[in-house]
């Protein structure tokens, strides 16, 4: 099933350039209405804080109403919040206007089905098939209606808080929360104060152009300085649409997705509450795999991308998985990655055990990683080149059980990604250069 517009996470691009134009988005709304709610119904529309969000929100609203679908507009809310509220409000489907961790001049459109799950490939193909037709406008009596449902955001806040262990309060915790000037800037601080924490807010003053700018999960340096500077217990960083999480311990050290997976998995396993194996990706640090194996916890790898982690979790019967970027899935609580749900679980573990985050991650030793992106004139599979395979084989033999080599083509750019993990950082960089040079020579 080939798709022209949908990528691994909806439709994304630079605002004003195809396909991220007003006329395309209006047409997209009409096509989605015909494909997902042909008999009418309702759609929930949410967004992050990008200036272009107003424009695309209006285009989607017009397209859905003209096609006979009621549009409920909830305003800025994390992507997982839209997924939850779509299901909670019994909408036919939900839409998020966001480009996640990208700069403000990008934007995107993501869809969820009525159960709060990402659309299947088949659904995306059906929408694209409708895109070749012009937008429809129903007769007046059949038009949809629009309503603002901003106040219903509290239902999402209550849901997230409800995922914490009962009788756990964050009283006594001082938490720095960095919302990346993004979709979580209202709800995330309120959740933490509602469960008793003292908060120090960062990245909570969006102006339409500062989303992800020098802050949030993709740029946690300010958070790393602030946490020890204000003597906080811990720091939390979200990305622009609130589905990725990075934390900072009281010493100012970054705690990534692999480390957070370990904290949650180890705690659940010790209590006999871990369901199934943990799932990571090809890029998950080998140190996590080794640490979980030593504890008797199963581990599987999926292709890079949260949708592939989700598929693998369902295949192996697990509920906990994710990526080192901090996009983590907890399927016993949510249908998609939710930074605040994961953060509340980690904070709950800290309170329950009385151990700081630095101590909870102390048993996990991550291997140094060397990453090299090789620009190529066209996309190709480097594993099909004999000379590259030979170099890769020699490197894997040298590393043996001490590390890993990953070689893959980017799914979105004309890049070949080279990653080496080894116990010695110098060796990792040297081997990554060797493999990268072999790819360049093959181009």
Known catalytic residues are 100
Exposed/middle/buried for 303, CB within 10 Å: 0-12, 13-18, 19+?
middle
| Degrees to nearest 5, angle at CA 206 with 204 and 207 | 155
Instruction: State the Cα–Cα distance between residues 278 and 316, nearest whole angstrom.
Output: 9
Pull the structure tokens for residue 37.
Answer: 């709610």
Phi and psi (nearest 5°) for 244? Answer: -105, 145
In contact, 201 and 236? CB cutoff 8 Å: no
Cβ contacts of residue 93 below 8 Å, gap of 6+? Answer: 32, 36, 37, 43, 44, 86, 111, 112, 113, 114, 119
Q: Mapped to the 3 state alphabet, what secondary structure does the chain carry?
A: CCCCCCECCEEEEECCCCCCCHHHHHHHHHHHHHHHCCCCEEEEEEECCCCHHHHHHHHHHHHHHHCCEEEEEEEECCHHHHHHHHHHCCCCEEEEECCCCCCCCEEEEEEEECCCCECCHHHHHHHHHHHCCCCCCCCHHHCCCEEECHHHHHHHHHHHHHCCCCCCCCCCCEEEEECCCCCCCCHHHHHHHHCCCEEEEECCCCCCCCCCCCCCCCCCHHHHHHHHHCCCCEEEEECCCCCCEEEECCCCCEECHHHHHHHHHHHHHHCCCCCCCEEEECCCCHHHHHHHHHCCCCEEEECCCHHHHHHHHHHHCCCEEECCCCCEEECCCCCCCCHHHHHHHHHHHHHHHCCCHHHHCCCCCCCCEEEEEEECCCCCCHHHCHHHHHHHHHHHHHHHHHCEEEEEECCCCCEEEEEEECCCHHHHHHHHHHHHHHHHHHC
């Amino acid at each position: 099933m080939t798709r022209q517009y949908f990528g691994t996470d909806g439709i994304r691009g630079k605002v004003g350039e195809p396909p991220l134009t007003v006329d395309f988005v209006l047409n997209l709304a009409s096509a989605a209405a015909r494909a997902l709610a042909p008999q009418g119904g309702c759609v929930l529309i949410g967004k992050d804080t990008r200036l272009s969000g107003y424009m695309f929100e209006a285009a989607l609203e017009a397209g859905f109403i003209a096609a006979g679908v009621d549009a409920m507009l909830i305003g800025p809310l994390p992507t997982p919040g839209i997924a939850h509220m779509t299901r909670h409000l019994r909408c036919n489907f939900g839409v998020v206007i966001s480009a996640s961790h990208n700069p403000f001049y990008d934007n995107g459109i993501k869809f969820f089905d009525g159960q709060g799950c990402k659309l299947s490939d088949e659904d995306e193909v059906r929408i694209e098939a409708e895109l070749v037709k012009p937008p429809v406008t129903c007769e007046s009596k059949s038009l949809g209606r629009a309503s603002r449902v901003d106040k219903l955001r509290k239902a999402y806040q209550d849901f997230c808080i409800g995922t914490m262990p009962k009788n756990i309060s964050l009283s006594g915790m001082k938490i720095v929360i960095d919302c990346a000037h993004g979709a979580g800037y209202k709800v995330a601080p309120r959740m933490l104060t509602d469960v008793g924490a003292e908060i120090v807010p960062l990245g909570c003053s969006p102006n339409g152009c500062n989303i992800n700018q020098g802050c949030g999960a993709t740029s946690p340096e300010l958070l790393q300085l602030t946490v020890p500077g204000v003597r906080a217990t811990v720091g939390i960083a979200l990305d622009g649409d609130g589905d990725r999480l990075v934390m900072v311990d009281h010493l100012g050290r970054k705690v990534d997705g692999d480390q957070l997976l370990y904290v949650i998995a180890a705690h659940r396993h010790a209590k006999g509450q871990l369901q199934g194996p943990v799932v990571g990706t090809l890029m998950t640090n080998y140190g996590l795999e080794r640490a979980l194996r030593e504890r008797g916890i199963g581990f599987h790898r999926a292709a890079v991308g949260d949708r592939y982690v989700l598929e693998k979790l369902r295949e192996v019967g697990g509920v906990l998985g994710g990526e080192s970027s901090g996009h983590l899935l907890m399927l016993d609580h949510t249908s998609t990655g939710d930074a605040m749900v994961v953060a509340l679980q980690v904070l709950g573990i800290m309170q329950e055990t009385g151990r700081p985050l630095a101590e909870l991650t102390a048993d996990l030793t991550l291997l140094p990683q060397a990453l090299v992106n090789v620009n190529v004139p066209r996309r190709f599979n480097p594993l099909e080149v004999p000379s590259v395979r030979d170099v890769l084989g020699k490197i894997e033999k040298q590393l043996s059980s001490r590390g890993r080599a990953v070689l893959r083509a980017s799914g979105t750019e004309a890049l070949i990604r080279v990653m080496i993990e080894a116990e010695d950082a110098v060796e990792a960089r040297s081997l990554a250069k060797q493999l990268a040079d072999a790819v360049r020579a093959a181009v």
